[in-house]
């Protein structure tokens, strides 16, 4: 899945950069495409390095080359970017300054939209496959159902940027996506492979996705309002969260598509590319997914993710022995003060 996300990211970046190059290629701007791909390499090195260090700290500390790269990762990343920055300055040509700065900004905005949000998709993936599959599926479902409802019942135009979009399709897609999200979440929440985050197991020296499911993925009883005669239902708490994910996919997700439509109209093109016959480029298929990925990452950080004991322990094990001992004594004194550990008299 990581390779899939990376391939999609590279292709989307290529499609947008190609549009910029096709607009200004007649000016023969030096090093534009070379620098664009170089900056993509730099940003990916930074983000992937941060991810590996964050999620697989123990593995990184065990391997000397990885430990050195991890320790100086941000400095190396900055040095790489600074090299590209200097190359851009050296490539400036008289009479083309403004165009070159336009394209410099074009590249960086593309990196912000594509690479940064791709990095958030990977973070979602490491939280558990369910946080990756359910949001993507909800966007796809909304796209299909909005088209179906609009095709059969559409009468009222929704937005001028997309004349074929209708209010009937928008509303029908919303309710269909909510139902789909609840059902898909119920099916996937029952499998540990989908709900467990990937971790590195020191004992087996391998990556695992086995865990004891959190309360979020354990069936619980819920009492519906008295208007419905206090009916009791069994649901996974994640299904309730899926309503928020489905709602965003239905209400705000399409605005990613509207944004892409406005972008294409600005450059008078129908599609970003012709990679998929009849469907345009990869960016045409993933324009809503990037916005959805950002929301999922923010949602997890705001409402789901709590303190991670395993990461705290990993950080502690990286400290010097005297620092570890100091923290141990401080924690022990705190637990004794709280009454969780019996007070032990010091030996005379």
Q: What is the pLDDT of residues 274-316, one digit of tens each?
A: 888 777 788 888 888 999 999 999 999 999 987 767 677 777 8
Q: What are phi and psi of 234, to 5 degrees?
A: -105, 120
Given pLDDT bands bounded at 50, 70 and 90, which one contains residue 24?
low
* pLDDT the model gives residue 226: 65
Percentage, residues of the chain above pLDDT 90: 47
Tokens for 310, please give them.
Answer: 């395993």
Tokens for 147, please give them.
Answer: 């088209």
Given pLDDT bands bounded at 50, 70 and 90, which one contains residue 171?
very high
CB-based burial of residue 15 (10 Å sphere; 0-12 exposed, 13-18 middle, 19+ buried)?
A: buried
Spell 118-132 as b/e; 16+ CB within 10 A means b. Answer: bbbbbbbbbbbbbbb
Q: Which helix (H) or strand (E) holds 25?
A: none
* Contact call for residues 294 and 253 (beta carbons, < 8 A): no
Task: Select the more confidently predicted residue: 150 or 227.
Answer: 150
* pLDDT the model gives residue 316: 83
* pLDDT the model gives residue 347: 39
* Contact call for residues 243 and 249 (beta carbons, < 8 A): no
Average pLDDT of the chain is: 87
Percentage, residues of the chain above pLDDT 70: 93
Task: Give the separation between CA 330 and CA 328, rounded to whole angstroms.
Answer: 5
Q: What is the pLDDT of residues 37-65, one digit of tens each?
A: 999 999 999 999 998 888 777 778 778 88
pLDDT at position 320 over 90: no
Task: Give the separation between CA 134 and CA 289, rounded to whole angstroms.
Answer: 12
Q: Tokens 């790489």 sit at which residue?
A: 80
Given pLDDT bands bounded at 50, 70 and 90, which one contains residue 122?
very high
Task: Give the separation between CA 8 and CA 10, rounded to whole angstroms.
Answer: 6
């Amino acid at each position: 899945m990581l390779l899939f996300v990376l391939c999609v990211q590279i292709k989307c970046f290529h499609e947008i950069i190609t549009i910029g190059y096709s607009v200004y290629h007649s000016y023969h701007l030096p090093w534009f495409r070379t620098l664009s791909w170089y900056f993509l390499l730099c940003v990916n090195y930074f983000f992937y390095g941060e991810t590996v260090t964050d999620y697989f700290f123990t593995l990184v500390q065990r391997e000397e080359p990885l430990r050195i790269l991890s320790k100086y990762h941000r400095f190396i990343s900055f040095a790489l970017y600074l090299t590209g920055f200097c190359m851009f300055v050296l490539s400036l040509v008289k009479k083309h300054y403004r165009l070159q700065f336009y394209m410099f900004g074009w590249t960086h905005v593309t990196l912000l939209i594509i690479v940064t949000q791709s990095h958030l998709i990977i973070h979602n993936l490491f939280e558990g496959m369910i946080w990756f599959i359910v949001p993507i599926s909800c966007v796809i479902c909304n796209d299909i159902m909005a088209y179906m409802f609009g095709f059969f019942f559409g009468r009222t135009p929704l937005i001028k940027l997309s004349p074929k979009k209708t209010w009937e399709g928008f509303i029908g897609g919303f309710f269909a996506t909510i139902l789909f999200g609840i059902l898909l979440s119920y099916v996937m929440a029952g499998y540990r492979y989908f709900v467990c985050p990937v971790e590195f197991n020191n004992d087996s020296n391998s990556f695992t996705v086995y865990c004891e499911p959190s309360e979020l993925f354990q069936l619980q009883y819920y009492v519906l309002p008295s208007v419905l005669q206090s009916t009791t239902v069994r649901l996974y708490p994640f299904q309730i969260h899926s309503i928020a994910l489905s709602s965003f996919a239905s209400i705000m997700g399409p605005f990613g598509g509207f944004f892409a439509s406005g972008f294409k109209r600005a450059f008078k093109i129908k599609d970003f590319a012709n990679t998929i016959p009849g469907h345009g480029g990869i960016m045409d298929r993933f324009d809503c997914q990037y916005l959805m990925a950002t929301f999922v990452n923010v949602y997890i950080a705001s409402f789901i993710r709590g303190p991670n004991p395993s990461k705290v322990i990993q950080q502690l094990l990286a400290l010097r022995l005297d620092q570890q001992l100091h923290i141990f004594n401080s924690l022990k004194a705190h637990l004794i003060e709280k009454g969780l550990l019996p007070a032990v008299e010091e030996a005379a």
